Amino acid sequence: MKKSTKKLLAVMMCAAMAGSALAGCSSGDSQTTAAAAEAPTQAQTTEEAKEAAAEPEKAEESKEGTEAAAPAAADMASADVKKKDPDKHYKFGYTCMDGTNPFFVTIEKRMREMAEANGDELIAVDPANDVTLQITQVEDLISQNIDAMFMNPAEAEGILPALDQLKEAGIPIVGFDTEVADMSYLISYTGSDNYNAGKVCGEDLVKKCPDGGDIIVLDSPTMNSVTDRTNGFLDAIEGKGFNIVAQQDAKGNLEVSMGIAEDLLQAHGDVVAIFGGNDPTALGALAAANAAGLTDCMIYGVDGSPDIKAEMASGESLIEGSGAQSPVKIAQSAVNIMYTYLNGDKVESRYPVETFLITSENVDKYGTDGWQ
């Protein structure tokens, strides 16, 4: 299954165009445990929403005895929640860890479409994986009098000062794809089941390589979503005869991953598999593996991106599978949660979005032209 030189150049061109693409983080919670706790929800106007965000206990008390009509957790991504007051105009803030990542480009595009369809506005900023810049950008959004915030942190812990400022300003926050270190700041969270996304990759590897062998893991410890995926993968292969010869931080970046993998493969050219915490990481490992002349190494990623699906569909790639997620569903879930909250209806603390495995055997079902 060795890739041609032409294929390698294509991957390199992809790296140049994509820039420093980071994980979609996936964003996200590891386990699909939908918590029973309910967020404050009696926000009939923007000001009331802000008061509820700043004083969750008071908002929860005012909610007692009220029957809400919010969509069920399983339905939030497919719901179509409209504003109760069509004349009300909301200004939403949006931030993600890396606005150049195709995963987040898709999320922002869908969120903007939904907001504008309701006559509202979405102001997006891109911190380029710099949490210090992200905090500054959030401060600027607050100064622009945003009514609510969609948050994907560059760092789970590092973003807390920005969350403090949003709370102080009474601005409700919906988190997406990647958790913050203190989830009490959020009115709700939606994201992929990242643990399962890694787990299905590990299970597939165990099935296809029953004798085990040496493997490389390229993770990103500062990203909760990637950490969850890595944990799922490692749990799936535990006790199955696999030996991790190297585990390094590829920062969810194609170019970083390629450089690390090139060095590692010089010393460990006989690995049976490489796990990348997202698809850009897997594509970087693919370029390195092709350059090293590997022909039977199985490479796994997480995202189910169009690029990774095209690799699998080619029938010639070392890419074996990807734990797929849907940025479209994450975006739809987040926006519907926000409108539900602003309408004064109940929202749950967590809305998980399913993940599943895509391989060459089923990639035709999902297509290669876009995200599932």
* Residue 38 pLDDT > 50: no
Topology adopted by domain 194-325+360-365: Rossmann fold (3.40.50)
**Domain extents for the chain?**
91-192+327-353, 194-325+360-365
Give the pLDDT score at 66: 33
Q: Which residue has the tokens 């787990």?
A: 199
Percent of the chain with pLDDT over 90: 75
* Residue 209 pLDDT > 80: yes
Task: Over range 283-296, report the average pLDDT.
Answer: 97
pLDDT in tens, 170-199: 999 999 999 999 999 999 999 999 999 999
Q: Which CATH superfamily is domain 91-192+327-353 in?
A: Response regulator (3.40.50.2300)
Banded pLDDT at 72 (limits 50, 70, 90):
low
CB 258, CB 285: distance < 8 Å: yes
Give yes or no on whether 91-192+327-353 and 194-325+360-365 have one common fold: yes
Q: What is the mean pLDDT of the chain?
A: 85
Tally Cβ neighbours within 10 Å of residue 123: 17
Task: Over range 79-86, report the average pLDDT.
Answer: 92
Pairing, β 356-359 against β 319-324: antiparallel
Kindly give the interhelix angle for 46-54 and 160-168, rounded to the nearest 10 degrees: 130
Ranges assigned E (strand) in the chain: 91-95, 121-125, 148-151, 173-176, 188-192, 213-219, 242-249, 273-276, 298-303, 319-324, 350-353, 356-359
Q: Which residues contact 153 (CB under 8 A, 6 or more apart)?
A: 97, 131, 134, 159, 175, 178, 180
pLDDT in tens, 346-356: 999 999 999 99
Give the pLDDT score at 215: 98
The pTM of this model reads 0.73
Closest CA to 104 of 192, 187, 217, 165: 192
Give the pLDDT score at 26: 40
Task: Over range 117-134, report the average pLDDT.
Answer: 96
Closest CA to 322 of 291, 287, 290, 368: 368
User: With the CA atoms of 174, 180, 185 and 189 taken in that order, what torsion angle do they form, in degrees rounded to the nearest 10?
Assistant: 30
Banded pLDDT at 81 (limits 50, 70, 90):
very high
Give the pLDDT score at 211: 97
Give the pLDDT score at 41: 39
* Residue 259 pLDDT > 70: yes
Q: Which residues contact 15 (CB under 8 A, 6 or more apart)?
A: 254, 255, 258, 283, 284, 287
CB 175, CB 151: distance < 8 Å: yes
* Residue 83 pLDDT > 50: yes
* Residue 8 pLDDT > 50: no
Pairing, β 188-192 against β 173-176: parallel
Task: Over range 67-83, report the average pLDDT.
Answer: 70
CA atoms within 13 A on the CB side of 5: 0
Give the pLDDT score at 71: 57
Q: 305: helix, coil or strand?
A: coil
Task: Over range 59-81, report the average pLDDT.
Answer: 57
Give the pLDDT score at 5: 37
Give the pLDDT score at 70: 52
Written as one letter, the residue type at 310 is A
Task: Over range 216-235, report the average pLDDT.
Answer: 94
